[in-house]
Amino acid sequence: MPVVRDELLRLESTHDIVAVRHEVRAWAAALGLNLVDQTKIVTAASELARNALVYGGGGTACLQALEEGIRKGLRLTFEDRGPGIADIALAMTDGYTSSGGLGLGLSGAKRLVNEFEIRSTPGEGTRVTITRWK
Amino acid sequence: MADGSNTTRAASARIAQVLEQDQDALLQDWVAAQLSAHSARGAVSAGDLRAQCREFLSLLARAAASGSGDVDTSAWSGVREFLANLSRSRAQYGFSPSETAIFVFSLKEPLFKRLRTAAGSDADVFVDDVSASTRMLDSLGLYTTEIFLRSRESLIERQQQDMLELSTPVVSLWDGILALPMIGTLDSARTQVVMETLLQRIVDSGAGIAIVDITGVPTVDTLTAQHLLKTVTAARLMGAECIISGIRPAIAQTIVHLGVDLGGVTTKASLADALRLAFQKTGRSVVRATPNGGNGTTKSASTTSPTGE
Amino acid sequence: MGRFLLVTIQVDMHDRLAMTLQSDLTDRIVQTGARGVLLDISGLDIVDSFMGRMIANIASMSRILDAETVVVGMQPAVAITLVELGLTLPGVQTALNVERGMMLLRRATADSGEDEEIEEAMHYRDGDASSPG
């Protein structure tokens, strides 16, 4: 899975969420995704960045442009050192929320991308990786 | 590269020399070979072909002179670029892959002839030169084929996109009422494109109602049904309403069997019924004009004349 | 005499601005006695669940203050994404554009008998809030 370009962004404040949206939009456009697919991945990024910030206490967003043969893609990894998620399956169900919000972040984000991977250890943190292929 | 690297370098140098010195004669033979093989196909004039060949020969000479026999290295980038452009343009003009690759391969014989002359009686040198030049030209010939195929593929992709857009016309049926008659089988990709087009048209035309007619769709699978539903929901989110019409009995059965919940989506058996409903929702009614202009029955709601707009 | 408030939101709304918008709006509704709110999101190319919550909140708050909210101008790509996300904004009325939104609001506030006009316009763009005095 050759990474042809990567960038690490910090997630410390809500301004950073805006910055992440901008960057992801630019990378998605550069990848040649159509408008709807761009919108989907930027929205997913916004959801996950917000999770890392609000539930994870802050973290990082890593953007990677991929080239696998003739296939091109965009991979985003959101990582935090927060409390982690004890029951991932539960967190992934629609409507689940721990803070009175609409709680659609994880399961919703999953539907917006091609690949979705989540790893979380209570007490250590959470890492979510999403990929969209062109 | 094994022990051959010195040999290759020497061979490359000799090849470069032949390409420089005998360029005109070489050019002549090479162009003639292509023209006689009808590889130029009339789409490239003899004059243009000559110019192309001349440019290629000088690029080739320069690359060979660098001493590297590996066409993937940077010394050969000029040659590759030239061939890529040639390949792409031939793909566009409808040449076949062979007709394009023959540009490179037909250089072999004229080149070998001159290498032989240059080698004189030294058979070893001749063999080395032929091996080296064969490797080079084979790689380059294959390279043109690869670029050609990639080019064809992206052309086909573009044509498919165009066809997709042409085959899903969104029609303005009346003020504020759009219709999307869908024909043929709906695969996931097509449905998505169609739906995006419809939603954009809704915005552009400010239409409050869109009728999606699937009379011409023989079967609907789960994915398609879900896409239709998503489109209706998206339209609603945007502030417009969708009516699905033309659902055949078979499709109705499929939808139920698949467990797709149409909840809340308005459906009508025919496009005509859907239009009638759309008129109702937009406060219109259709009234028959009386033959002698006398007192016919008129509804109190605003009337729409069939020819008015 | 009622009024409609037109609130235009453009891109990059971050949390503090979102809270500002909500409190500004509720203040205005009370000050002006507005009967309707038009929330113009035609400039938004992204609506995530946070924004969705905010929109739903605005509608709820306005309703409590006896004003109807209509969200107008949602972009197709945004609508498609929201549907995929599962965000359907229940209880929020929508219209294609400001004009149709006005029609909706007029029908909803028909008891006033007046021709409602848009009296106030509030613009929120790129980090700063600005509204006429």
The burial class, CB within 10 Å (0-12 / 13-18 / 19+), for B94 is: exposed
Residue B40 has pLDDT above 70, yes or no: no
Angstrom CA distances, C71 to B207, C6, C125, stand at 16, 10, 17
Residues in a beta bridge with C130: C123
State how far residue C121 is from chain A, nearest Cα, in angstroms: 25
Angle, in degrees to the nearest 10, between helices B46-65 and B4-21: 140
Q: How far is A18 from chain C (nearest CA, A)?
A: 6
Q: Give helix B123-166 / helix B188-205 axis angle, nearest 10°.
A: 50
Q: What is the pLDDT of residues B164-181, one digit of tens each?
A: 766 678 899 998 999 998
Q: What is the mean pLDDT of residues B18-41?
A: 83
Residue B76 corresponds to which tokens in the numbers above?
């050969």
Which of residues B225 and A63 earns the better pLDDT score? A63
Question: Which pTM value belongs to this model?
Answer: 0.69
For residues B103 and A26, give the distance between their C-alpha atoms in angstroms, rounded to a whole number: 41
Residues of chain B with pLDDT > 90, as a percent, come to 41
A63: confidence class by pLDDT, cuts 50, 70, 90: very high
Q: Is the pLDDT of residue B235 over 80?
A: yes
pLDDT digits (tens, 9 = 90+) for B101-132: 999 999 999 999 999 999 888 999 999 999 99
Of B199, B202, B236, the CB nearest to C80: B199
Cα separations (Å) of B147 from A32, B54, B144, B160, C12? 20, 21, 5, 20, 42
Contact B209, B180 (CB under 8 A): no
Radius of gyration for the alpha carbons in chain B, expressed in angstroms and rounded: 33
Q: Tell me the chain C residues in contact with residue B236 when contact means C-beta distances shorter than 8 Å.
A: 94
Chains that touch C (3 or more CB pairs under 8 A): A, B
Nearest to C86 among A39, A40, A108 (CB): A108
pLDDT, one tens digit per residue, over A71-98 is 899 999 999 999 888 888 877 876 655 4
Out of C88, C96, C99, whose CB is closest to B238? Answer: C96
In the predicted structure, residue C131 carries a pLDDT above the cut 70? no
pLDDT digit string (tens) for A39-56?
999 999 999 999 999 888
Quote the CA–CA distance of B129 and C65 in Å, as a whole number. Answer: 91
Please tell me the total number of residues recorded for chain C in this structure: 133
Model pLDDT, residue B1: 43
Nearest-neighbour CA in chain C from B230: distance (Å)? 6
Confidence of residue C127 (pLDDT cuts 50, 70, 90): very low
Q: What is the signed CA dihedral for A88, A91, A92, A94, rounded to 10 degrees?
A: 160
Give the per-residue pLDDT at C14.
73
**Range name among A87-91, B21-25, C116-120 with the lowest pLDDT average:** C116-120
Within 10 Å of residue B12's Cβ, how many Cβ atoms?
A: 23
pLDDT at B51: 92
Asked if ipTM goes beyond 0.90, one says no
Find chains touching chain A: ≥3 CB pairs under 8 Å. B, C
Measured between beta carbons, the chain B residues lying within 8 angstroms of C94 are 236-239
| C-alpha span between C14 and B23 (Å, rounded) | 68
Contact criterion met (CB < 8 Å) for B230 and C84: yes
Distance of CA C75 to the CA centre of its chain: 15
- pLDDT, position A100: 44
Using DSSP, state whether C95 is helix, strand or coil.
strand
Of all residues in chain C, what percent carry a pLDDT higher than 90? Answer: 42
Q: Measured between alpha carbons, how far is C34 from C120 in angstroms, rounded to an integer?
A: 9
pLDDT value at position B26? 92
User: What's the pLDDT at B239?
Assistant: 93
Q: Both tokens of residue B80?
A: 């590759």
Q: For residue C51, count other CB atoms closer than 10 A to its CB.
A: 20
Task: Kindly report the nearest CA distance between residue A47 and chain B, in angstroms.
Answer: 20
In Å, how far are A102, B281, C68, C90 from C61, measured between CA atoms?
A: 17, 30, 10, 14
Q: Token digits for B191?
A: 């449905």
